[in-house]
Amino acid sequence: MTPSPSRKPPSGGKDDDETASTSLSGRAAMRIIVPLQGIAHGRSGLVLGSVIPCALFYLFQLYFRRKKSSSSPSPSPSPSSGDLYALPGISRTPSRSLISPRTSSVHAPLSSRAAVVNKSGACRLAAGLRRCLDDPYHPTSNPDGVIQLGLVENQLSVDLARDWLERNVKAFLLEEARSDLGLGGMETSLQYDGLLDLKIAVAGFMRQVLQGSVSFSPSQMILTSGAASAMETLCFCLADPGNAILVPSPYDPVYDRNLKWRTGVDLIPVPCRSTDNFNISIAALERAYNQAKKRGIKVRAILITNPLNPAGNILRRDVLYNLLQFTTDKDIHLISDELFVGSVHGDKTLISVAEILDTVDFDKSRVHILYRLSEDLSLPGFHVGVIYSLNENVLAAAAKFARYSSISLLDQRVLVWMLSDVPFISKLLWLIGTRVKNMHHLFVLGLKGLSINCANGTGGLNCWVDMSKFLRSYSEKGELEMWEKLLDIAKINVTPGSSCHCIEPGWFYFCFKSLSETDVDVVIERIRRVIGGHKGHH
Amino acid sequence: MTPSPSRKPPSGGKDDDETASTSLSGRAAMRIIVPLQGIAHGRSGLVLGSVIPCALFYLFQLYFRRKKSSSSPSPSPSPSSGDLYALPGISRTPSRSLISPRTSSVHAPLSSRAAVVNKSGACRLAAGLRRCLDDPYHPTSNPDGVIQLGLVENQLSVDLARDWLERNVKAFLLEEARSDLGLGGMETSLQYDGLLDLKIAVAGFMRQVLQGSVSFSPSQMILTSGAASAMETLCFCLADPGNAILVPSPYDPVYDRNLKWRTGVDLIPVPCRSTDNFNISIAALERAYNQAKKRGIKVRAILITNPLNPAGNILRRDVLYNLLQFTTDKDIHLISDELFVGSVHGDKTLISVAEILDTVDFDKSRVHILYRLSEDLSLPGFHVGVIYSLNENVLAAAAKFARYSSISLLDQRVLVWMLSDVPFISKLLWLIGTRVKNMHHLFVLGLKGLSINCANGTGGLNCWVDMSKFLRSYSEKGELEMWEKLLDIAKINVTPGSSCHCIEPGWFYFCFKSLSETDVDVVIERIRRVIGGHKGHH
């Protein structure tokens, strides 16, 4: 049977920007309605607040419903519906389906969330990713290919992990084969949120990554198949459709996908500024919170990354303390995404929010940590996301939601086996740390040679690069123009700051985790091609 | 490091019944509001229809918001927040956290969906599952334990699959170890919806299970880690929060979980009757559709199971044709859940809806098939759900959503390897078929010896059992009383018909897929204990 791969592969990756814009009309209506709702919910103005906005609300509903139905994506005429017949052993009846009026009838409509998601695939950034997939750079076999500096999993030490697997997998599997590969064990225990053995191993690993500064309890842990599902699951637990989460920006564009697509939750970027080295500002959070409240939007949480992603800062102890104070005052949750904990490359040690909770007294049940094992293990293909929470209700709900994203039993056993090899894990962590440090150093040095500055980050697998002085116009348009040049001329696919909700044009997210050290020179040389004769607007 | 498993494991399984009741107050409001909305959206009555219901709507919102906030589950005082300290290498500070006023502050509220899900864990049926987990039956080591006849994965031929793995896994993994276990391949291709190799293998397998009556195109397929996520993903694609799906009842209670919990979509049971052998009635569907429409609820799809689950009927060709006609007339989707395709045990051959589409002309883009590989392979622990659709938009969105439930690369490779062993697969299918047939026969025979009748089903891994004549009162109360006796006295955990939305009391779902043939006698003898001296109300 030959496959008929007529359908486009999923475009995934960095394609979420337009997701935001698609629901603009609906949101515009909400911006007007919601403050009025705010009045209605106040103690005063009940009569005024219920009749007038109601009338407005329904008129808006009618207006936007009509507008939406006219602008909804036109149904495509099922290009590959003939595929069913394209296989041996089935008689083809193309003529009939061509004549039939039914076949050409309008498709039953999809959900609006599916429509939004599909529309996001058509955006400019998905094109960048596609270019990387179609023409991937390789130092020897395709030296002119497109270099991926967008978002991929950490491959900096894949060689080491692969070596280990090759050396150990035989012994492991012979062992496992004797114990029936756990067949039948999984379903009866219904432990969708991860084997206890793996939770113990992950807790130990997280402690090791944080250099023993804090311990994690396996019983407070939910394991999911990848960070995307860990994020989404936590969001389902903490917020309802129409609620919002404050996120200091610039932030990783994956949040716009993982936290919004299916949950119906909105993200409110809270801008940080280059003049402040992109540090989180409690005052800005306060403003954003109050603005949302005025508009009748319920803020349920703040999401921070530590180290800041993409800016790379390690959050100071007092910042974490202030965040805990702020979330306590507002009675909201604090989500600390510590995905890149293992990739700190400066001298400062990272402080997990769990460590602060150990020493200072706050309601621990409002704090939730996200972590990704495959990131720090450099094991793409093994997807393990972690929700660490001290809130029993969150753990109970997340454990149930874990049925939609449980980790393969086989993967779990391999990982338990691997994590129990303490000398190997220590060596792996040391090596990844060294490589991250070297890569970051080489990138910063190379860019400096082109008079390009980076933010002063000491964590993460990327550089946050300021190319604003090379923009033809200091605007989002100018930034995207530069992004296109980098893709077309330099053949490198980076993430423009506007996709990270950075309000200052000209910043770019260079992620180096799929490169080797020798690739850095190639990248720098290619950038020189773009900005060589370029004077910039400064 | 020792784990502190103080947190209860997820109670999963058959615990969804109370999910439905928790949102009743909100739904009651909708029942009043929505018809008025219907008036407002009509051509006439625009003014009348917008002001009056608006005012009502806001008053209801205020009322229910207040009611909801007062009835929301009271936050539990984080029983194991001390766990963080319960590990070596960390100083314990219990005294401080006991004094602190902050620690005892009210927790930040969870989402209402999480609250609903958590509440569902406290229901009666979860207790049945818990009993099975705490005291599981084993013929030799625990002959007095609780026998699980609830919902588990197919373990009828686990022995065969295990044998195969033991024989082949070494060769397979040596092969794989040479080819780096696919490390690094997954992320760069971003093929979250399954490897093409596996899709080709699954398409071939599905064709084999259906005895070659229809072919499936791998390019129309999305693979997810398990049937639960396949169902949920499809639901996210087809319906928005507040929309509804019609489901002929009795239906498998897992739908109440997988299709409702996170999607916000509602299911409308459409009762089938024992006098009609639980056949699907188009007239009843029409009525339910019109009622929903009158209440302003948008019906987006009909979900059928084939064979009917739990009644076991194989859907006739004309029924499938009528369903296609009905969904075309209403411009809605048809979801055909063919999870139990491989477990047909009567003489009739199952007709997939895909086969009807091959021969009759309907808009193929509104038909979607769900399938579960691990069910027919008898491979619990390997979770593979399949969405088969000829709708390009659904495939595109589902491929993106697949990132939240992608199948482990290692599992995919093992399965490709296993499915390519054609003689083994043929033997496995034959054996499973034989065992299902024998089990069903033994159950029906044993129950008949107790004067208990079963529905006339010829498919599925269960019996749909009529114990109505043994109820003390012919009501849901009587049914649950019987269910409790079966659990307490006979020590068998079955699913009462009320959990399947069966409107006739006294029916029970006996699922035999985790039993061996010798266990059947034990079950029958235990039931005799309950109904032995029982005359029933008839």
Which residues of chain A lie closer than 8 angstroms to B84, CB-CB? 215-217, 220, 354, 357-358, 364, 390
Comparing C-alpha atoms, which of A19, A465, A17, A502 is closest to residue A253? A17
Q: What are phi and psi of A247, to 5 degrees?
A: -130, 115
The stretch B346-367 carries a mean pLDDT of 90
CB contact under 8 A, A170 and B174: yes
Q: Are A36 and A56 in contact (CB under 8 A)?
A: yes
The answer to whether residues B115 and B68 touch, using CB atoms and an 8 Å cutoff, is no
| Residue of chain B whose Cα is closest to the Cα of A5 | B219
Contact map slice: A 498-517 vs B, CB within 8 A: 514
pLDDT at A128: 85
Q: Which residue of B has its CA nearest to A388?
A: B84
Contact with chain B for residue A169, Cβ under 8 A: yes
B434-448 average pLDDT score: 93
- Check if A368 contacts B (Cβ < 8 Å): no
Q: What integer pLDDT is reported at residue B179 of this predicted model? A: 54
Residues of A in contact with B236 (CB under 8 A): 111, 113-114, 262
pTM of the model: 0.80
**CA-based nearest residue to A221, from B3, B122, B92:** B3
pLDDT at B494: 94
Rounded distance, CA A483 to CA A129, Å? 13
Q: Is the confidence at residue B77, as pLDDT, over 50?
A: no
Contacts of A289 in chain B (CB under 8 A): none
B78 at the A interface (CB within 8 A)? Answer: yes
Confidence label for B248 from pLDDT (cuts 50, 70 and 90): very high
Please state, in angstroms and as integers, the Cα–Cα distance from residue B291 to each residue in B35, B296, B435, following that order. 10, 9, 43
- Interface contact flag, A217 B169, Cβ < 8 Å: no
Using the Cβ of A49 and the Cβ atoms of chain B, whether some distance falls under 8 Å is answered with yes
Min distance A498 CA to chain B CA atoms (Å): 22
Mutate to test the interface with A, among B262, B321, B379 (most CBs of A within 10 A): B262
The CA distance from A445 to A452, in Å, is 9
Whether A3 contacts chain B with CB within 8 A:
yes
For residue A89, give the nearest of B215, B390, B392 by CB distance.
B215
User: Given CB atoms, is B332 within the 8 Å cutoff of chain A?
Assistant: yes
- Cβ-defined contacts of A418-424 (< 8 Å, 24+): A418/A161, A418/A164, A418/A165, A418/A168, A418/A377, A419/A198, A419/A201, A419/A202, A419/A204, A419/A205, A420/A201, A421/A164, A421/A168, A424/A164
Is a pLDDT exceeding 50 seen at residue B88?
no
Q: Give the chain B residue whose CA is nearest to the CA of A379.
A: B183
Q: Which residues contact B17 (CB under 8 A, 6 or more apart)?
A: B120, B123, B124, B125, B253, B256, B498, B499
Residue A534's pLDDT is 56
Determine whether the interchain pair B5/A219 forms a contact, defined as Cβ–Cβ distance below 8 Å.
yes
User: Which residue, chain included where needed, has tokens 């411009």?
Assistant: B331
The Cα B64–Cα A249 span in angstroms is 36
What does residue A403 show for φ and ψ, rounded to 5 degrees?
Answer: -60, -20
* Three-state DSSP string of A298-339: CEEEEEEECCCCCCCCCCCHHHHHHHHHHHHHHCCEEEEECC
**Mutation choice for A interface testing from B58, B104, B356 by most A CBs within 10 A:** B58
* Mean pLDDT, range B147-161, rounded to an integer: 77
CA B335/CA A18 separation, integer angstroms = 30
Residue B442, phi-psi category: left (phi > 0), alpha (psi -120 to 50), beta (remainder): alpha
Mutant choice from A72, A74, A80, A110 vs B, greatest count of B C-beta within 10 A? A110
User: Which residue from A108, A190, A366 is facing B10, i.e. has the nearest CB?
Assistant: A190
Chain A residue whose CA is closest to B174: A170
What is the predicted pLDDT for the residue at A106?
54
pLDDT one-digit tens code per residue, B104-146: 445 788 999 999 888 875 566 778 888 888 898 999 999 999 9
With an 8 Å Cβ cutoff, is B408 touching chain A?
A: yes
Q: Considering only A20-24, A101-105, B380-384, B423-427, which range has the smallest mean pLDDT?
A: A20-24
Residue for token pair 């509602």 = B266
Cα distance between residue A270 and residue A285, in whole Å: 6
SS (H, E, C) A80-122: CHHHHHCCCCCCCCHHHHHHCCCCCCCCCCCCHHHHHHHHHCC
Q: Report chain B's terminal Cα–Cα distance, integer Å.
A: 61
| DSSP assigned state of B404 | G
A131 to chain B, any CB pair closer than 8 A? The answer is no
Binary contact (B107, A363; C-beta < 8 A): yes
Whether pLDDT at B335 is above 50: yes
Q: Does A45 touch chain B (CB under 8 A)?
A: no
Tens-place pLDDT, residues B219-247: 999 999 989 999 999 999 999 999 999 99
| Contact between chains at A203 and B363 (C-beta distance less than 8 A) | no
Q: Do B199 and A228 touch (CB under 8 A)?
A: no
Residue B159 has pLDDT above 90, yes or no: no
Q: Do B187 and A41 touch (CB under 8 A)?
A: no
The pLDDT > 70 percentage for chain B reads: 73
Q: Which residue has the tokens 């800016």?
A: A311
Question: By the CB < 8 Å criterion, does A188 face chain B?
Answer: yes
Per residue, the 3-state secondary structure of A375-420, as one string, reads HHHCCCCCCCEEEEECCHHHHHHHHHHHHHCCCCHHHHHHHHHHHC
Answer whether A283 touches B (CB < 8 Å): no
Q: Which amino acid does the sequence have at B449? A: G
Question: What is the C-alpha to C-alpha distance for residues A193 and B57, in angstroms, rounded to an integer?
Answer: 40
List own/partner pairs for A470-473 with CB under 8 A and 24 or more apart. Answer: A470/A506, A470/A531, A470/A534, A470/A536, A471/A505, A471/A506, A471/A536, A471/A537, A472/A537, A473/A537
Token reading at B254: 């897992």
Of B513, B353, B498, B382, nearest in space to B21 by CA: B498
Nearest to B199 among A3, A365, A393 (CB): A3
- Give yes or no for residue B497 having a pLDDT over 90: yes
Determine the average pLDDT of the residues in B377-400: 90
Whether the Cβ atoms of residue A107 and residue B368 lie closer than 8 Å to each other:
no
Given a contact cutoff of 8 angstroms between Cβ atoms, the answer to whether B502 and B480 are in contact is no
Q: What DSSP element (H or E) covers A427?
A: helix A422-449
B residues 411-470 lying closer than 8 A (beta carbon) to A: 411, 414
* Nearest neighbour of B6 by CB, restricted to A182, A219, A381: A219
Average confidence (pLDDT) per 10 residues, chain A, 538 residues:
38 36 39 38 41 45 44 37 32 33 59 88 72 89 92 72 74 60 48 92 93 93 95 97 97 94 97 95 98 98 95 94 96 94 84 91 94 80 91 95 90 88 90 90 95 92 95 96 95 94 96 88 95 59
B40/B45 Cα distance (integer angstroms): 6
**Phi, psi of B27, deg, nearest 5:** -70, -35
Q: How far apart are CA B503 and CA A124, in angstroms?
A: 53
Residue B470 above 90 pLDDT?
A: yes
Instruction: Give the residue on B whose Cα is nearest the Cα of A225.
Output: B405
The verdict on B378 touching A (C-beta cutoff 8 Å) is no
- Using an 8 Å CB-CB cutoff, list chain A residues near B14: none
pLDDT reading at B312 higher than 50: yes
What's the ipTM? 0.79
For residue A395, the model assigns a pLDDT of: 97
In the predicted structure, residue B189 carries a pLDDT above the cut 80: no
Query: What DSSP designation does B491 have?
Result: -
Please enumerate in sequence order all residues whose Cβ is within 8 A of that of B191, keeping only pairs 6 or more positions apart, or say none: A9, A10
Q: From the CA of B26, how many Å to the nearest CA of chain A?
A: 15
Interface test with A, best of B217, B219, B256, B388 (most A CBs within 10 A): B217
Do B411 and A414 make contact, defined as CB atoms within 8 angstroms? Answer: no
The Cα–Cα gap between B508 and B466 comes to 7
* Interface touch A113/B89, C-beta < 8 Å: no
Distance, CA of B5 to CA of B86 (rounded, Å): 11
Which amino acid is residue A276, in one-letter code?
D
Report d(CA B86, CA B80) in Å as an integer: 10
Chain A residues within an 8 Å CB radius of B382: 408-410
Instruction: Tell me if chain B has a CB within 8 Å of the CB of A331.
Output: yes
